[in-house]
Homo-oligomer: A and B are copies of this chain.
Amino acid sequence: MSDTKTQARRVFEQNERCPIRNVVAQIGDKWSILILFALVDGPDRFNALKSRIQGISQRMLTQTLRDLERDGYIKRTVYPQVPVKVEYELTELGRGLAKPAWQLVSWADDHFDEINAARTRYDEANKQ
């Protein structure tokens, strides 16, 4: 509880070192979580990921993979054959992140109907 308090205070620091602002900024983007979950079952190749994650562009897949690699969540391995083969896999850190991330998404899934109901109610009450 005192530990919780300590962290709660840090929530509102504008600081670059605020873990909340940092992690939300990093994995709160459009594709990070999706890529993370795409790799929980094992390594995969670039184009395989691209076709599994509907709607992602080549550009964003490359860019997001780089960012995740930079933060240590993903390991990139190049097999120097022709044509080249590149595999991406979660690191220990990446698998660690996937757990609480999954808890959150799982909660969202369980309460999806409830959220949609609230949305409809709100829109109904505030419509023209």
Contact A34 B12 (CB under 8 A): yes
List, in ascending order, chain B residues with CB within 8 A of A23's CB. Answer: 104-105, 108
> Which residue in chain B gives the minimum CB-CB distance to A118?
B72
* Chain B nearest CB, measured from A10 CB (Å): 8
List, in ascending order, chain B residues with CB within 8 A of A117's CB. Answer: 72
Given known contacts A103-B103, A104-B101, A21 and B8 CB-to-CB distance under 8 angstroms? no
> Which residue in chain B gives the minimum CB-CB distance to A125?
B70
Q: Give 1 or 0 for each of A35-70: 1 = CB within 8 Å of chain B CB.
A: 001101100000000001111000000000000011
Contact B34 A20 (CB under 8 A): yes
> Which residue in chain B gives the minimum CB-CB distance to A91?
B118
Q: Is A81 an interface residue (CB 8 A)?
A: no
List, in ascending order, chain B residues with CB within 8 A of A17's CB. Answer: 112
Given known contacts A34-B12, A38-B12, A122-B70, A104 and B103 CB-to-CB distance under 8 angstroms? yes
List, in ascending order, chain B residues with CB within 8 A of A115's CB. Answer: 22, 71-72, 93
Contact A109 B19 (CB under 8 A): yes
The distance in angstroms between the C-alpha atoms of A100 and B14, with both chains bound, is 23
* Chain B nearest CB, measured from A37 CB (Å): 5
